[in-house]
Amino acid sequence: MSRLLFAGTPDFALASLKALVESGRTPVAVLTQPDRPAGRGKKLRASPVKEYALEQGIPVLQPETLRDDAIVAELAALEPDLMIVAAYGLILPQNVLDIPTHGCLNVHASVLPRWRGAAPIQAAILGGDEVTGISLMEMEAGLDSGPVFHIEIIDIKDGETAGELHDRLAALGRATLAEKLDDILAGRVEAQVQDESLVTYAPKIEKRDAEVDWTATANDAARRVRAYNPFPGAYFFAGEHRIKLWRATPVDGAARPGTVLQADRDAIVVACGKDALRLDELQLPGKRRVPAMEFVGQFDLAAEPPD
């Protein structure tokens, strides 16, 4: 039986770790990000991967960096045959990539070489892609640039949010890893070099990226709302109010961008650079998410239109 290391942090990675454990391939150790402050109390919270690993009795390592001789020596002492990486969040330097006998395998949430980088799920929605998928990639020092063993493709559904797509891709990553791992370890699958002419990048998300741009087309604005649901949540300003926008739909309409075309119990509609956006689910600071028909009773958007 091969000795596996696993490196991952959020729920997306947890799905792949469970695939290993449930197939009898429990890793000899798990790498995950250090506990981080979370919630209103900013108490330290363990990652989903750490919580599950501890439940399973798997040793957990949480280095702040992998560019430390002591952690490199600790990983080497485990004598792994393969490291499986999924949404870990730290760069693996070459001396770490070289430790496992069969290298490092990445479970990546895109159809490589499209959307290399930190936020491929959001990028696929923002880009208006019709499909996405899971790539099992042999890792090298470059950013998601290694040769690919296998790609599994799925359609992106109309109106699908990043959270909804994330959950489907996590399940797909779990199933794909479970199905293909034996073939990869046995050398029955040859990795294919990526076509560099087709490369696109999905940079790390910044909260400011999620602000609604009313000068964009309604289709682009709607994609932004979907891409940043649930994190960090699309938003716009109306006067001094920072309003979260969780769901929205492109509709017909024309006026100066940001003009409120309708704001009543039937609908809230705001003009965009092309067409208009129907605001379907909104949230005032300190309030819960509500449908538009309830929001109009909380806030008069016509009196304080979007900035």
Overall average pLDDT of the 78-96 stretch: 96
pLDDT tens-place string over residues 3-35: 999 999 999 999 999 999 999 999 999 999 999
Ranges of each domain in the chain: 4-202, 207-295
Task: Region of 270 please: left (phi>0), alpha (psi -120 to 50) or beta.
Answer: beta
| Fold designation for 207-295 | Methionyl-tRNA Fmet Formyltransferase; Chain A, domain 2 (3.10.25)
- Burial letters for 249-259: b for 16+ Cβ neighbours within 10 Å, e otherwise? ebbebeeebbb
Q: What is the CATH architecture of 4-202?
A: 3-Layer(aba) Sandwich (3.40)
* pTM (two decimals): 0.95
- pLDDT value, residue 37: 87
pLDDT of residue 165: 98
* Sequence-ordered list of residues with C-beta below 8 angstroms from that of 70, at least 6 positions apart, any chain: none
Each residue of 245-286: pLDDT tens digit? 999 999 999 999 999 999 999 999 999 999 999 999 999 999
Rounded Cα distance between 108 and 137, Å, is 7
Q: pLDDT band for position 43 (50/70/90)?
A: confident
pLDDT in tens, 134-182: 999 999 999 999 999 999 999 999 999 999 999 999 999 999 999 999 9
Query: Helix 48-55 vs helix 11-22: angle between axes, to the nearest 10 degrees?
Result: 20
Considering the chain, what is the average pLDDT of its residues?
96
